[in-house]
Amino acid sequence: MIKLDVKHLGKIDARHGLSEKELRVNADQIAEFLEKFKKREQGFHEVVDNKQMLKEVHAFGDEVKGKYEDIVLLGIGGSALGTICLQQSLKHLYENELEDREYPQLHAVDNIDPSLISEIQDVINFEKTLFLVVSKSGGTPETLAEYFYFRDLCEEKGLDIKEHFVFITDPKKGLLRKVANEEGIRAFDVPGNVGGRFSVLTNVSLIPAKLIGIDIDAILEGAREAKESFLNTNFDQNLPFQLANIQYSLDKKGKFLNVLIPYSHKLIRFSDWYRQLLAESIGKAFNDLGKKVNTGLTPINALGATDQHSQNQLYNEGPNDKFFMFIKINDFGKTIQIPYLHPNEESANFLRNIDFRQLIHTEMHGTIHSLVRNDRPVLVIEIERIDAKTLGTLIMFFKCATAFLGELYEINAFNQPGVELSKQLTKKLLLDNS
Ligand code: PA5
């Protein structure tokens, strides 16, 4: 489970931190917020109980086990970031370089840079590749272009498209669904009431995760824990609300930049996933009443300990406009002692008798203490370890906190008119130029 350590927020100048009382402000509105959320008819939290979906994912994974060497994911934004996060967090960090792998390699092609399109071909064996085309709308220009290109290549090679392509898309709408229906290409649904950036716990990421051997049952089990907490009207039990309330209250104090700093290399792509979730959900021009509000919390990614040596100076001494969310992992699953070489050299005696876990934790505490000394607001989100269950909890925790943020700002956290506008204008420009 997750623990929130809020003590540092009370230790700094009141203009920048939050007192005990401030931490609980809005607490009596949880039930009301949940009611409002219900009216938005979103299903991202309910999908964790969808047994049929899970059964189909397992059946597909078991059916194709051993058939493919490479899985190429064609998708972008919410159709790719969750999967990349699961892969990075739960697989060996050098999985694709390992020999004797039990599962296929997963490559996410979530960009249209011609170099990426061309160079991916140097590492895959088309005869043994499954292309997963993931697009909720089935009309995103980048994903369609990739689909056209790789399908054409497969056809040129004489490959059976039905053996090499699977779509994950809207149950009814869009080009991919139409093609799937017409040609009998296998297609899995993205539930209509789950938006792209909220879709990681649906077929969108569960299918690729299953194909590469991730324990998807455990992910959903963990997610269920956070869902229960989300629906609990008791402030002390509702961790997602507590986080949202802190983000919202600190925004009121001018901390509109939210820095996420996991002290774990495995969570480097978790921050990419969260960046989209926070940015697209909360960055809105109009509130529920149609009033122009231009809300937004700007997410910033940082990685501990690496970015202590790139961003820390700014964070300590630059503008006090940021809220810092550290993620602390208690147990890395291994203890690696640092050998104390050169014992006669005093300049390195701080490395005497410590292991890498102690080092990374101490570095994190040192960084937190320096921020607190400079009156910067810090929250520590603590998890026991990085495994499928905990990651499921963490993902659902942040999604639910984002849903509460929407209610606190009185905006629709589930649409993305800005993204849609850029998609439309891109299509128009392409047509105008053709
Ligand atoms: O969160 C969202 O809705 C977007 O970021 C989408 O995930 C992204 O634009 C890709 O859309 P689609 O899945 O329709 O291809």
CA of 152 to the centre of ligand 1 (A): 24
Is 160 among the domain residues? yes
Grade residue 40 by pLDDT with cuts at 50, 70 and 90. Answer: very high
pLDDT for the residue numbered 99: 87
Is the per-residue pLDDT at 133 higher than 90? yes
User: Token pair for residue 356?
Assistant: 């890498």
Same domain, 212 and 237: no
Is the per-residue pLDDT at 62 higher than 90? yes
Same domain, 72 and 30: no
pLDDT in tens, 147-184: 999 999 999 999 999 999 999 999 999 999 999 999 99
Q: What CATH code is carried by the domain that includes residue 208?
A: 3.40.50.10490
Determine the residue of 109, 110, 140, 167 to mutate for testing ligand 1's pocket, defined as the one with the most ligand atoms within 8 A of the Cβ atom: 140
d(CA 323, CA 305): 18
Strand partners of residue 148: none
pLDDT for the residue numbered 100: 85
Same domain, 128 and 209: yes
Same domain, 373 and 309: yes
**Catalytic residue among 292, 309, 334, 346, which?**
309
Q: Is the CB of 83 under 6 A from ligand 1?
A: no
For atom 15 of ligand 1, the residue with the nearest CA is 135
Grade residue 187 by pLDDT with cuts at 50, 70 and 90. Answer: very high
**Looking at 184, 217, 250, which one is the last position of a domain?**
217
Same domain, 343 and 384: yes
Same domain, 150 and 251: no
Q: Is the CB of 196 under 6 A from ligand 1?
A: yes
d(CA 318, CA 120): 40
**Looking at 165, 191, 217, which one is the last position of a domain?**
217
Is 204 among the domain residues? yes
Same domain, 213 and 259: no
pLDDT for the residue numbered 314: 97
Is 76 among the domain residues? yes
pLDDT for the residue numbered 209: 98
Same domain, 88 and 210: yes
> Does the annotation count 342 as an active-site position?
no
Is the per-residue pLDDT at 50 higher than 90? yes
d(CA 166, CA 170): 13
What is the mean predicted confidence (pLDDT) over 323-343? 95
Is 431 among the domain residues? no
pLDDT for the residue numbered 227: 98
Is the per-residue pLDDT at 7 higher than 90? yes
pLDDT for the residue numbered 434: 82
Strand partners of residue 70: 105, 129
Domain that holds residue 203: 47-217
Backbone angles phi, psi at 73, to 5 degrees: -90, 120
Name residues whose C-beta falls within 8 Å of residue 393's C-beta, 6 or more positions apart in sequence.
1, 2, 222, 223, 225, 226, 383
Is 424 among the domain residues? no
Same domain, 294 and 381: yes
Mean pLDDT of the chain: 97
Same domain, 258 and 335: yes
Asked whether the beta carbons of 273 and 78 are under 8 A apart, the reply is: no
> Does the annotation count 183 as an active-site position?
no
Is 245 among the domain residues? yes
Strand partners of residue 258: 299, 323
pLDDT in tens, 246-295: 999 999 999 999 999 999 999 999 999 999 999 999 999 999 999 999 99
Is the per-residue pLDDT at 218 higher than 90? yes
Grade residue 381 by pLDDT with cuts at 50, 70 and 90. Answer: very high
> Does the annotation count 156 as an active-site position?
no
Is the per-residue pLDDT at 1 higher than 90? no
User: Token pair for residue 385?
Assistant: 């370890």
pTM here is: 0.96
The alpha carbon dihedral of 168, 174, 177, 183 has a sign of negative
Same domain, 36 and 164: no
pLDDT for the residue numbered 433: 86
Determine the residue of 414, 419, 426 to mutate for testing ligand 1's pocket, defined as the one with the most ligand atoms within 8 A of the Cβ atom: 419
- AA identity, residue 249: S
Is 114 among the domain residues? yes
Same domain, 202 and 250: no
For atom 9 of ligand 1, the residue with the nearest CA is 77
d(CA 291, CA 55): 44
Q: Is the CB of 82 under 6 A from ligand 1?
A: no
Is 255 among the domain residues? yes
Is the per-residue pLDDT at 235 higher than 90? yes
- In the chain, the number of structural domains is 2
**Looking at 217, 247, 266, which one is the last position of a domain?**
217
